[in-house]
Chains A and B, each alone.
Chain A
Amino acid sequence: MGLGGTLLLLIAVMPFAGALLPGLMIRAGRNVCAISTAVPTFLALTMLVVLAPSVMQGNVVQAQIEWLPQLGLSASFFLDGLGLLFAGMILGVGLLITLYARFYLSGEDPMGQFYTYLLLFQGAMLGIVLSDNILLLLIFWELTSLSSFLLIGFWKHLPEGRQGARMALAVTGAGGLAMIGGMLILGNIVGSYNLTDILAAGDQIRASEWYLPALILILLGAFTKSAQFPFHFWLPHAMAAPTPVSAYLHSATMVKAGVFLLARMWPALAGTDAWFYIVSTTGLVTMVLGALIALFKDDLKALLAFSTVSHLGLLTMLLGFGTQAAAVAAVFHIINHLTFKAALFMTAGIVDHETHTRDIKRLGGLRHLMPITFLIGTAAALSMAGIPLFNGFLSKELMLEEASHTDWFGSAYAVPVMATIGALLSVAYSLRFISHVFLGPVRDDYPHKPHDPPFGMWAAPALLVAMVVIIGVAPFLAEGIVTAAANAVTGADLHPHLKIWHGFTPALWMSVIAVAGGIILLLLHKPLDKLWIAAPRPEAKAIFDRLIAGLVAASRAITEIGHNGAISRYLAIFTASSVALGWVAYSSSGLSAPTRELLPISPVIFVGWIMLIVATVSVVTMHHHRFRALVLIGIIGLSISAGFAYLSAPDLALTQISVETVTIMLLLLALHFMPKITPKESSAGLKLRDGVIALGAGGGVAALAYAFLMRDIETISDYHLANSYEGGGGTNVVNVILVDFRGYDTFGEIIVLGIAGLVIYAIMHALLDGPASRRLKNTDYSYDRSRDRHPMMMVVATRVMMPIAIVVGAYIFLRGHNQPGGGFVAGLVIAIALLMQYMASGFAWTQERQRMEYHTMIGLGVVIAGLTGVGSWLFGRPFLTSDFTYIHLPPIEEFEVATAMLFDLGVFLTVLGGVMLMLYSLSRIARFAGETVNVEPMDYDPADRVPDEEER
C-alpha cells in the first residue's frame, strides 16, 4: 500500500475520527471547539497537499482494506485528479466554513453539535470522492443524505428547518435508492464493484442491454442530489439551514456530489445518445429555469439557491455533451462556481446577520454602511454574472463555446440560444444582487442598523474572492489542477490552455448579448416582477406535500388490507399463502420414485398413534375448557416422547418428557389467573374458513413428510458418527454434536433460554408495577383454592424424592457424553425436583431455603460455557475445541473427563436457572394475588398436634 496509501486512508478517516472532538470540546469554550474542528480538517488537508504533486503528474494513489470480499465490498480508496480537486474543495472550504461559523452561530446555538455534524458530513463527502468501490461509495452517499439532514434541520425549533430537512432527505434518499439499483446493475455487468475496473470497462457497459436501466437509475441518484429539474425544489427549502451550512452544502459539496458522480462515471457511461439527450437536456432546462426563478426571488438565500440550481444545470449540461472540451469546461467551472458561490452565501449570511433580514425589498444602499462586505459581494456577483477579469467569465466562455457548436435533435440553434438565455438571466440576477442590496440610497428602516462584521467573519469570503480575482486575471495558475481533473474524468491526455482572450468567437458575441440583455432585464425588473407575481406558477412544495400525503394514504390503505390489528387475520393470510406456495412448488415440479420401504407398524405404536390422534382432535373440539385441554396436551406430549423412544431417539424422549412436565406446570400456574373457559365467539363461517386452512396446512405438511420419508438423502452425519469418539471423546453422538461439533449453536441457544427467563422476570416486574397489580389484589381467587394446600402426604413424599431425583439428575448429567442424557435433560430433571418442593410446601417456605439466585445461575452457566470455549484458545485451538482424558478412581469404574463436560455444566446451569426463574416469576404474581405465605412445611403437621383429652 505504501506511504501514499496510508496517508490516503488517514485522510478518509480523519473527519470521522475528529467528529467526537467538538462535541466534547464545547465545554472548554467556543474558540476551543472551533479549533478542535479545524485541526482534523487541517491535518487532512496537509496530507492531501503532500500527495498532490504526484497526483498532478497523473499518478493514482491507492489504498485497500478487504472488508467483505464475499460481497465484493472492500474499503478501498483512490486519489486521482478529480478526487484531488474535490477533496481539496471539501477540506479547504470546510476549513473556511469552520472559521465563518464560529462567528456566525449565536451563543444559544449548540455549537459542539453543529461542528460534529459538520465533520460527519465532511467525512461522508470525502468518502464519496475517494471511494474506489461503488458499494462503499453508496454507503458514503447515504451518509451525506443523513448528515445533511441533521445539518439542514439544525435549528430544530423552526418548522421550515424541519420540513426542509425532511424534504431534502426524502428526495435525495429516494434518488440514492434508485442509484443503489443502478450501481448493482453496473457491478453485475462488469463483474466487479471496483470503480477502477468499472471505469475501464466502458465499452462493455455501453454494449450491455442493461445499460439504459443502469444509466437511468444512476442519473436519478445524481439528479436528485444535484437538484436537477424536476427534483430541484428541495434545494431552496433546504436554505432554512444556518448560512454556513448553506454555503458548505449547497455551493461546494453536497449538491456537487451529483455532478461529481456524473464526472466520475463519465468514462463508463458517457458517449451514447441516451447519455447526451438525457443529461444535457436536463441540464439545459435546469439552467434556464433555475436562472429565471432566481431573478424573481426576494429572499437573498433563495436567489442564491436557485442560481446554484442553474449553475448545477450548466455543469450537468456540459458533462452531458460528452466531449473532452466540455469536460474541461465543466471541471473549470466547478472550481469557479465554488469560489464565487461560497463567497456569495457567506455575504448573504453577513447581510442577514447584520441587518436581521434577507428580504431584498427591504435592503439597498448597504455599500456605505458595509463597504468591505460590498466589495466582497460585488466581486463574487460579477464573477457569477460572467464579467471579464473574474473567473466566472472564463468558464462561461468555455461553456458558450461548447454550446455554440452542439446539435440538438438536428437543430443547430436550440442549445446556443437557450444557453445564451441562461447566461442572460444569470447576468440579470447577479446584477440585481449587487444593485438591490448594496447600491441605491441608504435607507433608515433596516430592522437592525448594519455595519461591517468582525474580521473573522469576512476573512473567509475575502479569501475566496481573492481566488476569484486571481484566477480571473491569471487563469494559467489553475491550469495544473484543471488538467489533472479533466484527464481523470475523460481518461485522455489533455493539455487545455485557459486564457482570457480567444478572439472574436461566437462565444464572445453570445456573452455580449447576455450582458446587454441582462442589464436591460434588470432595468425592467419592477414591471416584470408584477407580471411574475400575477402569473400562475406550480408551487413545488404544495405538489410535493400532496404527493407525500397521497403516498402515505395509499400505503396505509394497502397496509390496512393485511395488517389491520387482527392477528388472527394475518396468521390466516400467512398460513393460506404458505400452503398455496407449497402447492405451486409441488405442481410445478414432479416427484421422483420412492426409494425406501415402509417400516412395519407395531401394535403398541398403533395404540399410541390412536391416542395421539384422539387427543389432538379432542383438544381442538374441547379447547373451550382450558383445563381439560391442558390435560390433553400432556397426553399428546407423552405419546410423542414414547414415539421418540421407539424411533431410536432416546435423548429426545428424555428431553420431551421433562420439558412436557415443566410446560404443563407453567401453563397450569398461568391458567390460575386467567379465565377457565374460552367463550364461543367464532361464527360458523369463521370456523369453516379456519378449518379449511388448518386441513390444508395439515394435509400439505403430512404429504410433504410422507414424501421425504419414502426417499433417501445424502447426510453429513457420517462424519459425526465417525469422529464422535475419536474427536469428541463420547459415544453418544447426539450429545457430542451438541457440546462439540455444533457447540457454538448450543452456546447461542442456552443464551436464548437464559434471556427468555430474564424477559419473563422483567415482564413480571413491569406487571407488578402497573394496573395489573391492582387487578390482582382486587380479584378473588379463593374459589379454586384447596382447603389443604400443602398436604402432609405430598410434603413427605417430595422430601423423600428430592435426594433421589438429584442423584438421578447427576447420573443423567455424568453419563450424558456416552449414553443418553446430558446437561439439558439433567437441568430439567433437577428443575422438576425443585418444583415439587414448591408445590408441596409452597413458595415462601422453599424460597427461604434457596441458596443461590436463579439469575446468578443463568449468568454462571453462560460464563462457564463461554470460558470453556475460550479455554481452547489458550492451546491455540479454535473456540470450543474439546479435550478429554480417562480417570480411574478406585471404588468406581474408569470414567472419562472431557472439557465438553464443563461446557455441558454451563448448559445444565443455564437450563436450570432459566426454567426456575420462569416459574419463580409466576409464583411472585401468585403472592401478589393475595396468596397466603406459609412458613411451615405443611398446613397440618401431626407432630405438632396436642393430644385430645380422651387420648390421655
Chain B
Amino acid sequence: MEIIVASSIGVLTAGGVYLLLRLRTFPVILGLALLSYAVNVFLFASGRLATNLPPVLSPYGDASYTDPLPQALVLTAIVISFGMTAVLVMIGLGAFLEADSDRIDMEPEQDGADAANEGSA
C-alpha cells in the first residue's frame, strides 16, 4: 500500500511539474491542480497509512485511530487550493481576454528550434 501511495504522489508531482513548465496558462493551471493533489496526499500520508481506523471516536471503549491532525490540515488545504485555482483561472482568463494571448512568459524563450516548431504548427 505504501508503494502505491508513494508512487501516486511521485507520478502526480512529475505530471504537475511538467505541465507547470508549459508555456500557456491552461496547462499551467492543470499542472497546479495536479501538484495540489500531490501535495495534499503527501501531507495526508505524513500521518502514516491505516485502513479502517477513521478518527471518529468509537463508543465501544478502547479502539485505535489513525492520526487526525494531517487530515484536518489537508481538509482546509483542499478547500484553499480550490480558492487558489479559482483565482488563477480568473487571472488567466483575464489575461487572455485583455491581451488575446494566453502565453505565460513575457517574451518567448529565444530558442531556434522553438521558432521553427511554431512555423510548422
Residues on A facing B (Cβ under 8 Å) = 564-569, 571-572, 575, 596, 598-601, 605-606, 609, 612-613, 616-617, 619-620, 623, 626, 629-630, 633, 636-637, 640, 643-644, 646-652, 655-656, 659, 662-663, 666-667, 670-671, 673-675, 678-686, 690-691, 693-695, 697-699, 701-703, 705-706, 708-710, 712-713, 715-717, 720-721, 724-725, 731-734, 737-738, 742, 745-746, 749, 752-753, 756-757, 759-760, 763-764, 766-767, 770-772, 775-776, 818-820, 824, 828, 911, 914-915, 918, 921-922, 925
Residue pairs across A and B with Cβ atoms less than 8 A apart, 22 shown, are A575-B21, A609-B8, A612-B12, A616-B11, A633-B30, A648-B53, A652-B78, A659-B78, A663-B85, A667-B29, A673-B93, A679-B24, A682-B23, A702-B13, A706-B6, A716-B69, A746-B76, A760-B86, A766-B94, A772-B94, A772-B98, A820-B56
Whether the Cβ atoms of A709 and B23 lie closer than 8 Å is no
Nearest A residue to B91, CB-CB: A763
Whether the Cβ atoms of A721 and B68 lie closer than 8 Å is yes
Q: Is the interface of A mostly helix, strand, loop or mixed?
A: helix
List residues of chain A with CB within 8 A of the CB of B91.
763
Give Cα A678–Cα B102 distance, bound, in whole angstroms.
Answer: 9
7 more A-B contacts (CB under 8 A) besides A694-B16, A715-B67?
A568-B23, A647-B51, A651-B71, A679-B118, A703-B6, A717-B67, A731-B56
List residues of chain A with CB within 8 A of the CB of B79.
655, 659, 749, 753, 824, 828, 911
B45 to chain A, nearest CB (A): 6
Give Cα A243–Cα B18 distance, bound, in whole angstroms.
Answer: 63
Instruction: Using A646-B51, A737-B72, A756-B83 as known contacts, say yes or no to A565 and B6 having CB atoms under 8 A apart.
Output: no
Whether the Cβ atoms of B9 and A705 lie closer than 8 Å is yes
Whether the Cβ atoms of A738 and B75 lie closer than 8 Å is yes
Whether the Cβ atoms of B13 and A698 lie closer than 8 Å is yes
Whether the Cβ atoms of A733 and B3 lie closer than 8 Å is no
Give Cα A925–Cα B111 distance, bound, in whole angstroms.
Answer: 37
Whether the Cβ atoms of B1 and A600 lie closer than 8 Å is yes
Nearest A residue to B113, CB-CB: A683
Give Cα A673–Cα B51 distance, bound, in whole angstroms.
Answer: 43
Q: Lowest 7 A-B CB distances belong to which pairs? A: A702-B10, A698-B14, A565-B106, A772-B97, A756-B83, A599-B1, A683-B113
B77 to chain A, nearest CB (A): 9
Instruction: Using A673-B97, A737-B68, A738-B72 as known contacts, say yes or no to A749 and B80 having CB atoms under 8 A apart.
Output: yes
Give Cα A454–Cα B7 distance, bound, in whole angstroms.
Answer: 87
List residues of chain B with CB within 8 A of the CB of A749.
76, 79-80
Whether the Cβ atoms of A617 and B11 lie closer than 8 Å is yes
List residues of chain B with CB within 8 A of the CB of A601.
1, 3-4
Instruction: Using A721-B65, A734-B72, A776-B97 as known contacts, say yes or no to A575 and B12 having CB atoms under 8 A apart.
Output: no
Chain B contact-residue range equals 35 or more
List residues of chain B with CB within 8 A of the CB of A666.
85-86, 89
A781 to chain B, nearest CB (A): 12
Whether the Cβ atoms of A702 and B113 lie closer than 8 Å is no
Q: Could you say which of A630, A662, A721 contacts B57, with CB atoms under 8 Å apart?
A: A721
List residues of chain B with CB within 8 A of the CB of A675.
26, 96, 102
List residues of chain A with CB within 8 A of the CB of B78.
652, 655-656, 659
Instruction: Using A655-B75, A716-B69, A767-B98 as known contacts, say yes or no to A680 and B121 having CB atoms under 8 A apart.
Output: yes
A594 to chain B, nearest CB (A): 10
Whether the Cβ atoms of B69 and A636 lie closer than 8 Å is no
Give Cα A166–Cα B83 distance, bound, in whole angstroms.
Answer: 43
Whether the Cβ atoms of B21 and A568 lie closer than 8 Å is yes
Q: Could you say which of A655, A715, A746 contacts B69, with CB atoms under 8 Å apart?
A: A715
Whether the Cβ atoms of B37 and A636 lie closer than 8 Å is yes
Whether the Cβ atoms of A599 and B41 lie closer than 8 Å is no
List residues of chain B with CB within 8 A of the CB of A766.
94
Q: Could you say which of A575, A600, A725, A734 contacts B17, with CB atoms under 8 Å apart?
A: A575
Whether the Cβ atoms of A709 and B48 lie closer than 8 Å is yes
Q: Could you say which of B17, B30, B46, B92 contacts A697, with CB atoms under 8 Å apart?
A: B17
Whether the Cβ atoms of B33 and A633 lie closer than 8 Å is yes
A571 to chain B, nearest CB (A): 6
Instruction: Using A613-B11, A678-B24, A770-B98 as known contacts, say yes or no to A738 and B76 having CB atoms under 8 A apart.
Output: yes
